[in-house]
Structure 1
Amino acid sequence: MRRLVALTLAASLALVGCSSTSSEDPSATASATGQIEAIAIGSSDSLAPTLDFVPGLAYPKPEYRVEWEGEGEPLQEGQPLLLDIYGESLQDHTQLINTYDGLPRSFLLAPEVVGDDLYEVLKTVNVGARILQVSPAGIDDEGKPPVAIVVDVLPIRAQGTNSVINPDMPAVTLSSTGEPTITIPDDDPPADVTSAVLIQGTGPQITSGSFVTVNYVGVHWDAGKNEEKSWESGDIFETSWPSENAPFETQIGVGQVIAGWDQALIDVEAGSQVEIVVPPESGYPDMGTLVFVVDVLDVWNPGN
């Protein structure tokens, strides 16, 4: 069990308490040895997978199984990863982590982040892949049970159908990785919040109170300055796209983001890409009009 499992397991144990009330290594009392091929992944009424296995078996070594390779772009070394993770104790089915009931986790595809073994597996799959990982008892914490973890590799860019371009909005072009470039026209900016869906997704819809994971870039429409700095039209104001930055997580409709986002992102579906023009009174009064391109990667609506 390498760093990814250690991180997710530690986080889950902090939430649910100790997963084993005994310090005894479960592999010492198991009557048989289990193998990853005997673990079946199923579906549930929620978004989380289910795991079917014989509890209490020993698992003598780490194992990985690619459930499906994914139909998206191949994963590349050093790229950002967005992962949904579900894990259970192989001793007694205790749930240890479930990001499906919440937001996915961000990582980088690097061995020092996800661990050497999982890194080698991830390099062979694509966006959309599902991997089952089994870790023996007590590798990172003596007395902890063997663990099975399902890892789903999610897109880090919008995935959907291209919409008709609105000629009144700033032009947007995408790099090979999906990172947007915004070209500001010579026209004056609109006086009100204005938005357009560039890519139409098909996932859960954002409502007031939704938690979202997004990638975005924001630029200035017009040149200006304030007490801190000056800028030119088209200069980047903020971005989550560099690999060292994680996708941005926030809640919509409750005042955690600027009013322009709260207004424009309601009813947008996961997988969509939205362009938003935000005047100063709906954004930052001392920053002028801003233009954002937002890729909605994940939407979680509590209670649904």
Structure 2
Amino acid sequence: MPKKHQGQTVAIDVDLAGDILRVAVSGLPKLVSRNAASALLELRSDHEQFRGFLNLPPNGNHLINSCLLYPPFEQCTDGALFLASQFAYAPYAGTALMAAATIIASAKRQALAKDQQVVALETANGVMEVQVTRTDSVMTHAKWFTVKPKLLINNQILNLPLSGNIPVSLVDAGLPYLVVDADYLGISLSERQKLTNAAIELSGAASKQFPMSNFGIGGSYGKYLVMFSSKSGKNHIKTVWASEKGELANSAGGTGALSVVVACEGNGSLSPGRSVTIEAPGGIFECQVVGQFATVSAEVRIVARHSFPSFYYANP
């Protein structure tokens, strides 16, 4: 029988490139796991209601994505992070890492001798690092250091019943992405309903034609997320992020932004190794892929602090 939990949950909101990342820092589900990989499985099996408690009304809304920041399991890190998005618990997201690092650095700002600090966070996929920059006493920028996403399929034809044959790329950035040039679809990035319809069709068709099981990916995502892109300058690409259900986001997301860069370098529309501006409706990421490594940076701003009376049920 599910067990009732009551208490107080403290969460801090960070504005980052069009996203509001809600970082829950206390009053979190109690875990018996002693490492991040096991803890993620425990959250998925026992604490689904807590994810909804953070993201859904009355505490959240459709623009909120949350993450959980736990004390570190390992002594050499600053904390353990888990994404608790609108869609699922996941190992991480680039924006969640950057938001959590901003909060950790802000809490330490009085003790910092330098204007930059590197924060190490444990995830179910290993330890990841974010560099946070301070201007005066305020944290203003965050840069995520990661590995280059894997280009699974480079500019291959996807057969769409309604839209015909469209070249697409598939990228594994920790989350599974389909990247498509909106110009091939004859859609402007401002045509939201058309993007929604196209995302549903693209994700469904790609999941059948290019099953994730062929690449050994997927996890909690059954279908590909979609990144619509349109090049607007030599090293400037406009994008819109869409879920497999056609839900559109203000932000490209860190993994989504990098997926666009890797796909465009793969098809030759971007020169490798350059700094690239990825623009979404809500904000901008600066991305760079050099060799097998990549960085994503954005402006950050702590905008709110909440204390929610928590009431939810968890599996025993």
Q: Which has the higher contact order (CA 8 A, sep 6+)?
A: 2
TM-score by length of 2: 0.26
Compare the two structures and name the one with the higher strand fraction: 2
TM-score by length of 1: 0.27
Compare the two structures and name the one with the higher helix fraction: 2
